[in-house]
Amino acid sequence: MEIIYIPGSFDLFHVGHIRIFQYAFNKFKHSFIIVGVSDDNLIMSYKNIKPIYPLNERIETVKSCRYVNKVIVQRKFFDVKQLKPLKINYILLGDDWKNKKFTELALAQKKLGFKIIYKPYTKEVSSSEIKKRIIKNAYEIIEAQTKRKSC
């Protein structure tokens, strides 16, 4: 059985997240999929913005996905101490990570011996794209919300 680790913030859970879990599930039959959900401090450290959903809600959402076997909280990128007991064979990342330099990832790979797989990024949807759509439609959203409350 292959053990696959998929890290991320998983804020505004969407079809792109489901597709990466599904990809792992289909690529490795009889695999065990562990998802590392980044805590708020880690997200703030690299995105400079607090996630929309609190950590406990993001964990619950990810846990509800049928492709996911286990969810852990990721407090540091590719923490060797945290990953070692999991005995992972693969780390699965979106290919938007491919050209980024992550010394923590290289160090963890060297110490733990897992392989890295990059899945093509779902360009048409991302949490950032969803936020942009909300901002673009903010007036209509507020207007609809106001009408709904007055009924």
CA 14 to chain centroid, in Å, comes to 10
Share of residues in the chain with pLDDT > 70 (%): 95
- Across the range 56-85, mean pLDDT stands at 97
List pLDDT tens digits, range 44-67: 998 898 999 999 999 999 999 999
Q: Residue 132 pLDDT more than 60?
A: yes
Closest by alpha carbon to 54, among 110, 10, 94, 2?
A: 10
38 by Cβ neighbours in 10 Å (0-12 / 13-18 / 19+) ranks as buried
Alpha-carbon distance 11 to 55, whole Å?
9
Closest by alpha carbon to 11, among 55, 71, 64?
A: 55
pTM: 0.85
* DSSP-assigned letters across all residues of the chain: --EEEEEE---S--HHHHHHHHHHHHHSTT-EEEEEEEPHHHHHHHHSS--SS-HHHHHHHHHTSTT--EEEEESSTT-HHHHGGGT-SEEEEEGGGTTS--HHHHHHHHHH--EEEEEPP-TT--HHHHHHHHHHTHHHHHHHHHHHHH-
User: Tokens in use for 8?
Assistant: 């991320």
> How many Cβ atoms from other residues are within 10 Å of residue 23's Cβ?
18
CATH class name, domain 3-122: alpha beta
**pLDDT score at 136:** 79
